[in-house]
Structure 1
Amino acid sequence: MTTTAPATPAADTGTGTAAQRLGAFTAGLRHTDLPAEVVTAARLHVLDTLGCGIAALALGEAAYAVAGADEAGTAGPAAALGVPHGLPAAEAAFVNGVLCHALDFDDTHPDSVIHVSAAVTPAAFAAGQAAGADGATVLAAIVAGNEVSTRVGAAAGGQFHARGLHPSGVCGVFGATAAAARARGLDADRTAQALGIAGSMASGLLEFLADGADTKRLHPGWAAQAGITATRLAAHGARGPATVFEGVRGFYATYLHGIEVDLAPQLDTLGQSWNTPSIAYKPYPACHYTHAPVDALAGILRDNPSLRAADVASMVAYTDATGVGLVLEPAADKARPRTPYDAKFSLPFCLASLLVHGTVDVASFTPDRIADEAVLALSRSVSYEQRTYSPRPDAFGGGVRVLTTDGRTFEAELRYQRGGAENPMTEADVLDKYRANAGLVLGEDGVRALERDVTALQDHTDLGFLAVVRG
């Protein structure tokens, strides 16, 4: 779902290769071009993203990213979560991208299946701090990055997952590059060159699913860092292939060999409709494919407050084909997650956690919790049925059927996950989530100050307010 408005950037985005059209859109975008709904959504996603990163810092997640940046001993103008001194832009973008995705609590665009903001926001902020950009420029950069990421991903119709590729990395690098280029102030040609260069930096494998390794959370960080690097190289004269998207050895032809991809319809609406408001928020810090079944079970428990974990004999989860591969198979691994991150991709574990502990939150995915035998016993009782939900590639629908020891059956299903456009979280919901997450590190005054500063982003002459995230 997109938001349509008549605003059109001054630059001509209708001619040239895909990279050139995206470059013209990005370089020409001004915050005054943006409909009010897009501005509101962009700022709220920034807050949500920063809150997720601050919570990850508080819980010691991805501490290696912070420690590695600190070990390098380099200094620069950009603020990184948990690093007491400023870092060079690329390093800060990497740290922030990793931490903002580390809890898997950050936003996702359903049509492209991309964690958008975890790469775009760090790239825009780091590049903006390095360039001395004002808040209005960075706001435009964030929206440009959102629009580029989601369009590059949506054109592929959800095919990257089937190839073992993580679209948050392989597509996210283009959004991060657009954001960095706009924040730095590159013209249309240099932005197109940067996008061409970024095509050779696109990466991200889903093999972390084999053993719960840490690599998935690195993907937005690398995309943000690569976006800064591609932009820097283009600014100093490096050239990227103009046909990076549509070429016979280009991005789609190589990563999705044998699948026809038409990016043109996504480009034709640049500056006329906006994807930013359709990026979905996450109510749970786990893979989006767990959310609808978990919410369905939560509804059953609300309607039947006497139902307890001890009453449940078995559960049947519902999800689509992509969900089966991500959160239900291999069944033996999903029944007993090997690492906390592995548990975030286990629908049996999430359902069992909700039944046993009454919630699925950031405390659900700790070493102690994933070893909880009461949860694991219930996890082993979960089977699944594959279903079809939305005509869109990935709308994350799902449900659950609960069978009790005394023969009762409870069933609930959500066609669309909570947090997306069809089943939205309210602005108050998102702000409550931000405040709870940011409050794990920042005092109440710090939480409110950062909220005020991001809400007034377009009014700031610089990004000095981000120093608060250094801790």
Structure 2
Amino acid sequence: MTAAETIAGFATSLTLDDIPTEVAEDAKLHVLDVLGCGLAAHASGIATEGRSTMAELGGEPQATVIGLADRLPAANAAFANAMLCHGLDFDDTHSDSVSHVSTVVAPAALAAGELQAASGRDVLAAIVAGNEVVCRIGMAASGRFHARGFHPTAVCGIFGGAAAVARVAGADAETTTRSLGIVGSMASGLFAYLADGTPTKPIHPAWAAHGAHIAARLAHHGASGPQSVIEGKFGLYHAFLGAEAGDVDIEAQLADLGRRWETPRIAYKPYPVCHFMHGSLGATAEALRGRLLTADEIEDVVVTVPEAGVSLVLEPAAQKQAPRSEYEGKFSLQYSAASMLVRGHVGVGDFTDEAIVDPAVLAVARKVRYETPEYPTYPQAFPGGVRVTLASGETLESDFPHQRGGPENPLSADEVRAKFRDNAGLALAGHAVAALEEAILGLEMHEDLGAALAPLALTEVARV
């Protein structure tokens, strides 16, 4: 049996009764978190181009779109919402697969649920199925997509999105296998944006969520795709990684589907920046203990990260020390560490056009160096540390083997809900925030997803 056939069998047969209660509860919190991130991006006017484009295309009113009064075709709604949900880089990441999971799977599954008039129970089961698929496809080649300049969020995520959409649609295993074969030809996403800080990255999950829908319809109408699309010659691992037969053990990752659950290991983000920076930023906050510093007080700053993160968040150093855009700032550990040292926080407001040219922060950013010790906890976590030497001779130092928000150093459910309220409150009135939170945390109780998701479409700060 091929990997696609195994995934299809798992996804199409999974029911909510098969999923441990704690896994289902985790999945709902991740949906809540990612929708909050999308609402915050909407309020900030970030990553709205996908919504504008899809609204311009028009079509049947099938699914809800964040910040848009009019509903759109399900595939296009999934595109618009996924782009918004990833716009701030504040959404969750599964460490081992280095994939942003919910930003593809949740928008794809929710739009499919509205299209199919599916129950909340079925949509929740589909989301868990999609999550598990993304994680395992990425885990089998942990870090290797990044090394080749490919974004696993989209490259692996489209398979999870396809599995989720097929599950919501009630497709059988054979049709779902064909859909998975088709999305292999749609898998894409390049890290080329790192060269100049252009915000192309949010388009990656958008295209994946959209492709999951298109592949499902193509398969429904009889289109075919290769069953060996994941592990075969010229398949995912061979084409993207140059892996030869047997080099990537996807079979081992899929062998315990339905028994081992990766959804609870998807990490939340306390900071709206690349997850490779979270260990160091958490360590910096701990080392400061509420203290704020100026450039004159600081002699030297050394941050530590796994070697795999250097090309994403630390090099080229001169470019990272003075980010040219909001998005480039989110991939600069020099700038973000300086923000923590000078301002005491790294939040959405620290990446505006005005904030990233703050001379007090940039003066400290120029003092940030890095080291790459071996972290036994990587890639299961995003570890990091900091050592700040002050002009007085005092040293402030801390190390986080596990970043805050990961399963070994978790945010509580209350903290995740508080993050959602803060983000959603940028776009919605309090009553709408509360209604959406209640709807998502009770997702399995809903038979009408359109009504449950209605608060997303409120347009108090709409920018289309």
- Matching residue within 250, 267, 289 for 1:280: 267
Alignment of 1:54-453 (within 5 A): 54-258=39-243, 260-302=247-289, 305=291, 308-393=294-379, 395-453=381-439
Q: For 1:161 and 1:48, how far apart are their aligned partners in 2?
A: 25
Partner SS for 1:216? coil
Contact 2:39 2:424 in 1 (8 A): yes
Q: For 2:154 and 2:276, how far apart are their aligned partners in 1?
A: 18
Shift of 1:442: 1.3
Contact 2:377 2:402 in 1 (8 A): no
Matched residue count: 455
Q: For 1:326 and 1:34, how far apart are their aligned partners in 2?
A: 36
Gap change, CA 1:391 and 1:352, over 3 Å in 2: closer
Cα root mean square deviation, aligned: 1.2
Q: Say yes or no: does 1:454 pair with 2:454.
A: no
Contact 1:75 1:85 in 2 (8 A): no
Contact 1:43 1:454 in 2 (8 A): yes
Shift of 1:354: 1.2
1:62-93 CA distance string (max 9 Å, x none): 12122212222323210111221010011000
Partner SS for 2:426? coil
Q: For 1:287 and 1:389, how far apart are their aligned partners in 2?
A: 18
Q: For 2:112 and 2:273, how far apart are their aligned partners in 1?
A: 29
Contact 1:389 1:395 in 2 (8 A): no
- Residue matched to 1:9: none
- Residue matched to 1:469: 456
| Amino acid across the alignment from 2:241 | L
Q: For 1:22 and 1:306, how far apart are their aligned partners in 2?
A: 50
1:127-160 CA distance string (max 9 Å, x none): 1111111100100110010000000100012110
Contact 2:65 2:457 in 1 (8 A): yes
Q: For 1:334 and 1:160, how far apart are their aligned partners in 2?
A: 22
| Amino acid across the alignment from 1:207 | A
Gap change, CA 1:46 and 1:190, over 3 Å in 2: same
Q: For 2:376 and 2:72, how far apart are their aligned partners in 1?
A: 43
Contact 2:277 2:333 in 1 (8 A): yes
1:4-26 CA distance string (max 9 Å, x none): xxxxxxxxxxxx21101100000
Q: For 1:391 and 1:402, how far apart are their aligned partners in 2?
A: 23
Tell me the percent identity.
51
Gaps in structure 2 of 5+ consecutive residues: 459-464
Gaps in structure 1 of 5+ consecutive residues: 1-15
Shift of 1:305: 3.3
| Amino acid across the alignment from 1:458 | E
| Amino acid across the alignment from 1:94 | F
Q: For 1:286 and 1:463, how far apart are their aligned partners in 2?
A: 31
| Amino acid across the alignment from 1:79 | T
Shift of 1:292: 1.1
- Residue matched to 2:461: none
TM-score computed with the length of structure 1 as normaliser: 0.95
Partner SS for 1:290? helix
- Residue matched to 1:40: 25
Q: For 2:113 and 2:445, how far apart are their aligned partners in 1?
A: 14
391-400 vs 20-29, greater mean Cα deviation? 391-400
Q: For 1:305 and 1:237, how far apart are their aligned partners in 2?
A: 63
Q: For 2:273 and 2:57, how far apart are their aligned partners in 1?
A: 31
Q: For 1:95 and 1:217, how far apart are their aligned partners in 2?
A: 10
Q: For 1:391 and 1:296, how far apart are their aligned partners in 2?
A: 15
1:168-223 CA distance string (max 9 Å, x none): 01001001111111111111111111111010000000011101112111111111
Shift of 1:389: 1.2
Gap change, CA 1:306 and 1:97, over 3 Å in 2: closer
| Amino acid across the alignment from 1:387 | P
Q: For 1:305 and 1:206, how far apart are their aligned partners in 2?
A: 36
| Amino acid across the alignment from 2:18 | D
